[in-house]
Chain A
């Protein structure tokens, strides 16, 4: 069979197509270099991450305090969502073996929040959980971990802003290994237990609930047991809309108080201590115990203070204070 010779027209088309593709490729590379460098040069945002303590036990829920500061001389526009769920914070973890991986959240949230203006030297703050995400448990073995947080947002008009923290070091100690190993055991129960500690609720997570109750029974004085009592108690202080069963499980105020009052003072990070006080107050209001409610609310107010990362709790606090005051 005779091989067809390419025509002159076909050759010309090929040459034009090749030249166009080459030019386009060069232009795209040039554009990507310019735009990749842009975030670092066009803003003076600085982000810091800080741990709540130096050493953690295996399986202990870890929360980080995040601060985003405008270190420029003029106001900067930023997205106010300082959390990983909105996609504004990307968290990179390097484990003791040197492997680096992203800690991604279970939920991706889409919000119609408005961009805010951050004055020169002003900062935003938040608390983020990093111990459990869409990949399961983050800190699975004892050792030294490094965690870096990147703030990355695209503002109205397409301007991208970005800042990365210095990595912080988190040490998961070899103390109390057994409760941690029991908590994070492979399989659905370990993953459900993680969700329960992350969300402080989930009546449908039966295997996880059983796992947490068994942990309390086996290791009642362990560090993790404080977090377990908090999550189970906080869950009972509120009703649960169970759409799978088509019914609402009402709050169990006595059950909540029993679990939450067993947690010794100052064993939880402030972020959870505030929620513990609010849950105790909510339960006391439900039982019409005015004095107990007001005592818990005072504790919550004192912990919130003027710390900007906790100011979002004030609306809950005010609502509960009004409800407590209305108890005869």
Chain B
């Protein structure tokens, strides 16, 4: 049987950054090293690094409009934007390469009812028309632009959603899939029990990115892993 590995095409808008490696206990931590610990070979390709932020003439009714991005605009930037590779699995000989897409946007998030929020850090989109699950990071959020550690964690967390992991798979304390609200400033870069159980033990088609439609994953792979706890 051939090997499987993941390639994350990571773009960013001009004026933003990619997360840098962190040093923890003398070891260098990257997104790849986090996934390597659970046996997943994942390579991040920092691709388009200067996508210009689109600006509209300032409107009197919404002077901060340019600072925010709405759900359909995120859908647009993720599904039809600057991707170099199509999202999904590619078989090369006996090996399978899974293409994942992410982007760092120079915006805050605006909800579909028009509510502006500055606290949103990241989003993973699930396309009902297919199996794609691209993700975006909101660089304007103070924790993303102000803390490389949280930026790195959020990127690994969003990629966790791409692997069909849920917030409730987290350990409720420090692990990767907990919400930011749960971990606060005390987190580590590890997957623990339920997260590992999903990544290592569930059938590959429910784990690896962009393989199964969300409906199949949700009906066959339980949403909550309470039995792990």
Interface residues of A (CB under 8 A from B): 31-32, 35-36, 79, 86-87, 90, 101-102, 104-115, 132-136, 152-160, 188, 191-192, 194-196, 198-205, 235, 238-244, 246-248, 250-251, 271, 275, 278, 281-282, 285-286, 312-313, 315-316, 319-320, 323, 326
Within 8 A of A (CB), among B127-180: 127-129, 141, 143, 150, 154, 157-158, 161, 166-168, 170-173, 178-180
Given the contacts A109-B109, A112-B143, A242-B54, A104 and B218 also touching, CB distance less than 8 Å = yes
Q: Please state if B172 and A158 are interface contacts (CB–CB under 8 Å).
A: yes
Q: Please state if B76 and A244 are interface contacts (CB–CB under 8 Å).
A: yes
List chain A residues, Cβ under 8 A from B109: 109
Interface segment, B21-29, B38-46, B56-64, B198-206? Answer: B56-64
Between A and B, 17 residue pairs with Cβ closer than 8 Å are A32-B227, A36-B229, A87-B167, A90-B224, A106-B128, A108-B123, A112-B119, A134-B218, A158-B173, A159-B172, A195-B72, A195-B128, A199-B112, A203-B76, A241-B76, A242-B54, A250-B57
Closest to B80 in A: A244
Bound Cα distance from A241 to B75, whole angstroms? 11
Closest to A310 in B: B113
Interface residues of B (CB under 8 A from A): 51-52, 54-57, 59-62, 65, 69-77, 79-82, 109, 112-117, 119-129, 141, 143, 150, 154, 157-158, 161, 166-168, 170-173, 178-184, 213-215, 218-219, 223-224, 226-229
Closest CB in chain B relative to A218 CB, distance in Å:
23
Select which of A79, A106, A136, A241 is within 8 A of B181 by beta carbon. A79
Select which of B71, B128, B183 is within 8 A of A136 by beta carbon. B128
Question: Which applies to chain B's interface (DSSP): helix, strand, loop or mixed?
Answer: mixed
| A-B pairs under 8 A by CB, number | 217
Closest to B137 in A: A110
List chain A residues, Cβ under 8 A from B124: 107-108
Q: Please state if A285 and B226 are interface contacts (CB–CB under 8 Å).
A: no
Known: A244-B76, A250-B56, A286-B60. 19 other contacts (CB 8 A): A79-B181, A87-B179, A107-B71, A110-B122, A110-B154, A110-B158, A134-B126, A155-B181, A156-B182, A158-B172, A198-B71, A199-B70, A204-B79, A205-B75, A239-B59, A282-B61, A285-B60, A285-B61, A323-B60
Closest CB in chain B relative to A37 CB, distance in Å:
11
List chain A residues, Cβ under 8 A from B228: 32
Bound Cα distance from A239 to B58, whole angstroms? 11
Q: Of residues B76, B173, B214, B219, which shows the largest number of chain A Cβ atoms within 10 Å of its Cβ?
A: B76
Q: Of residues B122, B181, B228, which shows the largest number of chain A Cβ atoms within 10 Å of its Cβ?
A: B181
Closest CB in chain A relative to B150 CB, distance in Å:
8
Closest CB in chain B relative to A295 CB, distance in Å:
15
List chain B residues, Cβ under 8 A from A202: 72, 75-76
Q: Please state if A243 and B218 are interface contacts (CB–CB under 8 Å).
A: no
Closest CB in chain B relative to A126 CB, distance in Å:
10
List chain A residues, Cβ under 8 A from B62: 238, 282, 319
Bound Cα distance from A157 to B123, whole angstroms? 24
Select which of B76, B79, B126, B173 is within 8 A of A108 by beta carbon. B126
Closest to A132 in B: B128
Select which of A106, A200, A319 is within 8 A of B61 by beta carbon. A319
Q: Please state if A243 and B82 are interface contacts (CB–CB under 8 Å).
A: yes
Closest CB in chain A relative to B35 CB, distance in Å:
18
Bound Cα distance from A235 to B182, whole angstroms? 35
